Structure 1
């Protein structure tokens, strides 16, 4: 039993010194969301456009549009709602979207993780 404890302590001591040296590349993006489908009353359209689900989904899409490996790090600004009239036939109903949504995206810096040939 004493050997097992000693082996465990040796393994723990060896792993304590190792740290993750992962480096990231960060990029801030500003974009607009798409208008919600259909025409509804202005308050309802604004509520639909500013749902946390929509902000999260569009933020994810903004980062993924940068290419492979880009992920959302943080949403810095959720933007402001902007509404457009649907026309005179819709009795003042509107479609709304968010403008100037600012998202910070991150990606693992190439070469910072993994084994590279010729390096120790």
Structure 2
């Protein structure tokens, strides 16, 4: 019984073909993040806007806004911090966001993976 199983596995391994590499579609996006919810001193507001967590979160949102299947490949440019002064009781404080964040998004090319009728 074990000999038959070993022969079957060897035969399947011999006749199986190598899988083809997955092809991707790439797209570069430039966008701005949203300003922080609170007003802080300008230096703290800039530090909050440039946190790696915020960059990761917004870059993911940028790619997902392109449609189903788009994912972040890499962040090319983290952009520059821009601040807006707050009015009213928060005089002297600012809200900051990042402008011109450049992200490369990728998606699996349709038809490059899986079985298609009439294709081998």
TM-score range, shorter chain: 0.7 to 0.9
- The Cα shift of 1:104 comes to 0.1
User: In the alignment, does 2:60 pair up with 1:72?
Assistant: no
What does residue 112 of structure 1 align with?
112
Q: Return structure 1 stretches of 4+ with deviation > 2 angstroms.
A: 9-17
Q: Does 1:86 align with 2:81?
A: no
TM-score by length of 2: 0.86
C-alpha distance 75-3 of structure 1, shift in aligned 2 (>3 A)? same
Q: How does 1:16-55 map to 2 (within 5 A)?
A: 18-55=18-55
Query: TM-score scaled by structure 1?
Result: 0.86
RMSD, aligned CA: 2.4
Shift of 1:18: 1.5
* Deviation for aligned residue 1:21: 1.8
- Comparing 13-22 and 66-75, the one that deviates more: 13-22
